[in-house]
Amino acid sequence: MPSTDRLKISLVQLNPTVGDIAGNAAKLTDALATARGQGADLLVTSELFLAGYPIEDLVLKPAFLDAIEQAVEGLMAETASGPALLLGAPWRHEGKVYNAALLLDRGALRAVRFKHDLPNYGVFDEKRVFAAGPAPGPIAFRGMRLGVMICEDMWTPDVAETLEESGAQMLVVLNASPFEADKQDERIQLAVQRVQESGLALLYVNQVGGQDELVFDGGSFALDRKFRLQVQAPSWREAVVATEWMLDDDERWVVEPGVMTRPEEGLAAIYQAMVLGLRDYVTKNGFPGVVLGLSGGIDSALSAAVAVDALGPERVHGVMMPYRYTSTDSVEDADQASDLLDIELRSIDIAPAVDAFGGMLANAFAGRDSDSTEENLQARARGMVLMALSNKFGWMVLSTGNKSEMSVGYATLYGDMCGGYAVLKDVYKTTVFALARWRNAHRPVGALGPEGAVMPARIITKPPSAELKPGQTDQDTLPPYDVLDDILACLIERDMTAAAIVARGHASEIVMRVWRMLDRAEYKRRQAPPGVKTTRRAFGRDRRYPITNSFQGG
- Please say whether the beta carbons of 521 and 408 come within 8 A: yes
Task: Choose, from 27, 78, 126, 151, the residue flagged as catalytic.
Answer: 151
E strands in 328-459: 344-347, 396-399, 421-422
φ/ψ of 188, rounded to 5, equals -65, -40
How far is Cα 380 from Cα 360, in angstroms, rounded to an integer?
Answer: 15
**Residues 199, 408: contact at Cβ < 8 Å?**
no
Residue 530's Cα: distance from chain center in Å? 11
The set of residues, in sequence order, having a beta carbon less than 8 Å from that of 400 and lying 6+ positions away, is: 292, 293, 295, 299, 300, 303, 416, 422, 423, 424
The values of phi and psi at residue 491, to 5°, are -75, -40
Closest alpha carbon to 291 in 309, 312, 318, 311: 318
Does the active-site annotation cover 115?
A: yes
CA dihedral 298, 300, 303, 309 (to 10 degrees): -90
Helix%, strand%, coil% for the chain, nearest 5: 40, 20, 40
Q: Among the options 27, 47, 264, 418, which is catalytic?
A: 47
CB-CB neighbours of 312 under 10 Å: 16
Q: Which of 27, 115, 284, 425 is catalytic?
A: 115
Q: Give how far Cα 144 sits from Cα of 150, 243, 258, 512, Å.
A: 19, 15, 20, 60
d(CA 446, CA 464): 30
Residues 6+ apart with CB under 8 A from 215: 178, 179, 209, 273, 276, 277, 280, 532, 533, 534
Sheet holding 396-399, edge to edge: 344-347, 316-320, 290-293, 396-399, 421-422
Nearest to 150 by CA among 86, 200, 193: 86
3 CB neighbour count, 10 Å cutoff: 7
DSSP-derived secondary structure for 454-495: SS-HHHHHSPP---SSTT--GGGTS--HHHHHHHHHHHHTS-
Q: In terms of Cα–Cα distance, which of 372, 373, 352 is closest to 364?
A: 373
| Identity of the residue numbered 274 | M
Name every residue whose Cβ is closer than 8 Å to that of residue 440 and which is 6 or more positions away in sequence: 452, 453, 454, 455, 457, 460
* Contact of 485 with 430, CB cutoff 8 Å: yes
Give start and end residues of each alpha helix (H) in 154-207: 158-165, 183-198
Q: How far is the C-alpha of 315 from the C-alpha of 247, rounded, in Å?
A: 52
Catalytic residues: 47, 115, 151
